[in-house]
Amino acid sequence: MTKIILVACCVLSAVLLLACSKTETTPGNTASAPANRPAAAATTPAAANPVSASNKTGVAECDDFIAAYEACVKNKVPAAAQAQFNQGLAQWRQQWKTLADNPQTKPTLVGVCKQAMETSRTSMKAYGCTF
């Protein structure tokens, strides 16, 4: 039980760290967001869609959050900042897939993903994202 709590705390800490680092880039990129939206929509889908289709975690809350977050990044985050967000998405997918593959840690993912969504919801409001 202690191991599960420790793993959940580590994952939650990583999520919070990613969310905090994303907030720091917001002020410098907010002014250019409207100008960059069309370019981001035209260039990102080809790179993002194959990854999301092949890396489902198997936990509905996590997969739903990843899909919503990915859509937000693709449609609302300026192109200059998308690489950072996509890197964070890739890390979440990898970590959560690993945790989901382990029967002992899989039950903790529901709470971890819900917490990640709440944290990200706050930080992504700067880009006009709602999920």
Degrees (nearest 5) of the Cα angle 106, 93, 32?
Answer: 140
Task: Report the mean per-residue pLDDT for the chain.
Answer: 72
Cβ neighbours of residue 38 closer than 8 Å, sequence gap 6 or more: none
Mean pLDDT of 11-15: 47
| 95 part of a folded domain | yes
Mean pLDDT of 46-61: 62
Sort 35 into a burial class: Cβ within 10 Å, 0-12 / 13-18 / 19+.
Answer: exposed
| 76 part of a folded domain | yes
* Residue ranges making up the domain that contains 11: 2-15+43-127
| 23 part of a folded domain | no
- Total domains in the chain come to 1
- Tell me the pLDDT tens digit for each residue of 90-114: 999 999 999 999 999 999 999 999 9
| 36 part of a folded domain | no
| 122 part of a folded domain | yes
- Tell me the pLDDT tens digit for each residue of 71-80: 999 999 999 9
User: How many helices (DSSP H) and strands (DSSP E) are in the chain?
Assistant: 6, 0
Work out the pLDDT band at 130, boundaries 50, 70, 90: confident
